[in-house]
């Protein structure tokens, strides 16, 4: 596996591969890799000549400095996992390589950055949009792989690709879970054993909501039942629990089989923020 820290050498290396007609698959990450990330890498390895993974803890998408400072950064382990998975190129820029001090560009995603995650993490998606657009321009991949676990991020990046005419095929990869059902996340390593148990309420609630919706209960009733379940759980605070149209992420008030529905949630266990979603059908 080749490792690059600077943009110029990476572009030169990938440019030569592109001239030879090699397809490039790209997986952007913030590192602290787990089986969820590796599923994205293996999808890319299967479908492209060359797979590039970036590891960059992007400061502009954090709105909590403690979360940024405590974000795990086990770089040597990450590189070893990427090698084992068959990744060809790791791109590991530092912050000064990605951002100049004079930068003024900012991206806006309208209502998509105001709802769910956006409501609780102001400016988060401006940071995500900008860094992904920069990485797309640097790597110029044919295909890019993102997790469905971050559904809102995927919808937003699909907009970015459409509206900025990136010639990139986007692929959404299903959420990889621990045996308990807990969605894998780099932040899970910060959960104590007790918090891991408490964190189960997120997945359990998604499953409960799904079964209530399938049983004919209205979205508003389901939402309030789940919210009151959360109120009873110690050390857990719910930020949102929403039943939305999978394409637009807007609330829905009735379930109809003709539209795709997702149930999305996020909140804290102790000081650790978790996010998850499942689709209804």
30 binds ligand AMP (CB under 6 A): yes
Min separation Cβ 115 and ligand AMP, Å? 18
User: Segment contacting ligand AMP (CB under 6 A): 64-72, 142-150, 222-230, 264-272?
Assistant: 142-150
Radius of gyration of the chain (CA): 19
Cα-based torsion angle of the residue sequence 12, 15, 16, 18 in order, rounded to the nearest 10 degrees: 160
Asked if 156 contacts 124 with a C-beta cutoff of 8 angstroms, the reply is: no
Residue closer to ligand AMP by CB (options 44, 205) is 44
Nearer of residues 184 and 238 to ligand AMP, judged by Cβ: 184
At CA 39, angle to CA 20 and CA 29, rounded to 5?
A: 75
Of 168 and 222, which CB lies nearer to ligand AMP in the complex structure? 168
Active site residue 124: no
Task: For residue 41, give both structure tokens.
Answer: 């890498």
Residues binding ligand AMP: number (CB under 6 A): 17
Are 143 and 25 spatial neighbours (Cβ–Cβ below 8 Å)?
yes
| From candidates 4, 14, 26, 29, binder to ligand AMP by CB under 6 A | 29
Q: Are 168 and 143 in contact (CB under 8 A)?
A: yes
State yes or no: residue 40 binds ligand AMP (CB under 6 A).
Answer: yes
Q: How many degrees, rounded to 5, is the angle at CA 185 between CA 181 and CA 190?
A: 105
* Least distance to ligand AMP, CB of residue 148, Å: 7
Q: In the bound complex, what is the minimum distance in angstroms from residue 28's beta carbon to ligand AMP?
A: 6
Q: Helices marked H in 48-177 — which ranges?
A: 65-70, 75-85, 95-98, 117-120, 124-139, 151-163
Among positions 173-202, residues that touch ligand AMP (CB under 6 A) are 173, 175-176, 183-186
Which amino acids are annotated catalytic? 37
Residue numbers at the binding site for ligand AMP (CB under 6 A): 29-30, 36-37, 39-40, 146-147, 149-150, 173, 175-176, 183-186
């Amino acid at each position: 596996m080749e490792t690059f820290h600077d943009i110029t050498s990476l572009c030169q290396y990938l440019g030569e591969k592109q001239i030879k007609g090699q397809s490039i698959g790209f997986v952007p990450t913030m590192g602290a890799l787990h089986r969820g990330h590796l599923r994205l890498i293996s999808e890319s390895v299967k479908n492209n000549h060359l797979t590039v993974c970036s590891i960059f803890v992007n400061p502009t998408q954090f709105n909590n400095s403690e979360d940024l400072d405590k974000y795990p950064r086990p770089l040597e382990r990450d590189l070893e996992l990427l090698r084992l998975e068959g990744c060809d190129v790791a791109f590991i820029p530092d912050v000064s390589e990605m951002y100049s001090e004079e930068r003024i560009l900012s991206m806006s995603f309208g209502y998509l950055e105001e709802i769910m995650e956006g409501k609780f993490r102001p400016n988060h998606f401006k940071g995500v949009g900008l860094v992904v657009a920069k990485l797309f321009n640097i790597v110029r991949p044919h295909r890019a792989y993102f997790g469905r676990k971050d559904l809102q991020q995927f919808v937003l990046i699909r907009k970015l690709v459409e509206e900025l005419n990136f010639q990139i095929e986007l692929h959404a990869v299903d959420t990889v879970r621990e045996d308990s059902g807990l969605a894998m996340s780099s932040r899970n390593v910060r959960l104590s054993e007790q918090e891991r148990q408490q964190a189960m309420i997120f997945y359990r609630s998604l499953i409960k909501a799904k079964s209530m919706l399938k049983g004919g209960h209205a979205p508003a009733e389901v939402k309030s039942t789940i919210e009151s379940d959360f109120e009873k759980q110690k050390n857990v605070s719910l930020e949102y629990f929403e039943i939305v149209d999978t394409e637009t992420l807007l609330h829905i008030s009735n379930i109809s089989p003709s539209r795709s529905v997702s149930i999305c949630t996020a909140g804290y266990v102790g000081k650790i923020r978790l996010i998850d979603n499942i689709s209804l059908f």
